[in-house]
Structure 1
Amino acid sequence: MKLIILTALIGVCAAGYAPPYVVRSVLDRNANILRSESEVNEKGYHYAFDTDNGIHADEAGVEANGIQAAGGYSYTGDDGQVYSVRYTADANGFQPQGAHLPTPPPIPEAIARSLQENARDEAAGIYDDGSYHDARYAPGVILARKQYQAPRYPFNPYNPYNPYRRY
């Protein structure tokens, strides 16, 4: 009898506990809209809304070479902290800004120098597309390379550059 009462008591306690994210999702599901604005015309659009659970969003945009929009939103997270994001979206893509968003690591110094050198070369009219051109190399270097070419028979046992060499 004591075991049944203890099991029932544990079951009642477990059923009464709800993790914070469950409570938050129930509140978000039943949120009421406190303010809602919406305007669409030939110049562009604008909308904004607020809900009673702390969500706020607004955006304005125009059609110019695609859609160019700017706006933001904020909400209260499961930890009780208010998170805010401001963004722009245009030909450069979606660019969010917020204190809680991760930031990329700094560019290593060697790569930054290489990018600067590439920009200087392009400004001077020097372009390197990465392809090989015989004219870029001195004739002596090309002749020196030709002496190390493999023989015509690919499995020549005396070819020192053949990875399938037989001993």
Structure 2
Amino acid sequence: MKLIILACIVGACSAAVLPGYIAPQYRYPYNYQDARARAALDRGASIVRSESEVNEQGFRYAFDTDNGIHADETGVEANGIQAAGSYSYTGDDGQVYSVTYTADANGFQPQGAHLPTPPPIPAAIARSLAENARDEAAGIFDDGSYNDARYPGVVLARNQYPTRYNPYRPYRRY
């Protein structure tokens, strides 16, 4: 009995000393800013120019920093906020990245030479979309629901089986 109690005490003490698991990216020595090549330059950046204006018609701001970051935006309130602007910065590889954008009811729409573009639409899908547009223009709408009148052969094939589907006996016995 004494041996069991002693084992429980030793087990509890040793379990209390063990630290919890911390994922490698969250351990102390790692810091994202220290891993970047331009971290020291970006950390000490100061604002060189700053302009801001807000009035009844909308807003406008622009700023520049001494490490090459530039941003500007103008916007108005019409059906929500409609804004357009741009920003640019120097990446870790030394290349200047520039983005122009609009943000309105259609969402945020960035444009830049370094941003990925979607692949072209395959020819078969483009033909299908064109056919759907022609059908809708002619008044033919296919909402995806089944219609017996459109598929008479299926109705005839289904009617040759007199019994209805029974959920308790899903398999047909022949």
Report the equivalent of 1:9: none
Q: Measure, in 2, the Cα distance between the counterparts of 1:93 and 1:155.
A: 48
Q: Measure, in 2, the Cα distance between the counterparts of 1:51 and 1:149.
A: 80
User: Gapped runs of 5+ residues in structure 1?
Assistant: 1-18, 160-167
Q: Measure, in 1, the Cα distance between the counterparts of 2:129 and 2:170.
A: 44
What whole-Å deviation, never above 9, does each CA across 1:55-78 have from its counterpart, x for those lacking one?
A: 000000001111111001000000
- Coordinate RMSD, CA, aligned: 2.3
Q: Measure, in 2, the Cα distance between the counterparts of 1:91 and 1:156.
A: 52
Q: Measure, in 2, the Cα distance between the counterparts of 1:56 and 1:46.
A: 14
Return the TM-score normalized by structure 1: 0.75
Return the TM-score normalized by structure 2: 0.72
Paired amino acid for 2:71: A
> CA separation of 1:99/1:21 partners in 2, compared to 1, >3 Å: closer, same or farther?
farther
2:101 is paired with a residue of what secondary structure?
A: strand
Contact 1:21 1:78 in 2 (8 A): no
> CA separation of 1:147/1:102 partners in 2, compared to 1, >3 Å: closer, same or farther?
same
Aligned mate of 1:128, from 135, 142, 146: 142
Aligned mate of 2:173, from 148, 158, 161: 158
| Counterparts of residues 71-110 of structure 1 (less than 5 Å) | 71-110=85-124
125-134 or 42-51: bigger deviation: 125-134
Q: Please tell me whether residue 37 in structure 1 is matched to residue 45 in structure 2.
A: no
> CA separation of 1:136/1:89 partners in 2, compared to 1, >3 Å: closer, same or farther?
same
What whole-Å deviation, never above 9, does each CA across 1:73-96 have from its counterpart, x for those lacking one?
A: 000000000000000111111110
Aligned mate of 2:128, from 97, 114, 117: 114
147-156 or 112-121: bigger deviation: 147-156
CA deviation after TM superposition for structure 1 residue 51, in Å: 0.1
Report the number of matched residues. Answer: 140
> CA separation of 1:23/1:141 partners in 2, compared to 1, >3 Å: closer, same or farther?
closer
Q: Measure, in 2, the Cα distance between the counterparts of 1:52 and 1:149.
A: 83
Report the equivalent of 2:156: 143
Paired amino acid for 2:51: E
1:143 is paired with a residue of what secondary structure?
A: helix
| Counterparts of residues 13-52 of structure 1 (less than 5 Å) | 21-52=35-66
Q: Measure, in 2, the Cα distance between the counterparts of 1:112 and 1:56.
A: 40
Q: Measure, in 1, the Cα distance between the counterparts of 2:61 and 2:75.
A: 9
User: Gapped runs of 5+ residues in structure 2?
Assistant: 1-32
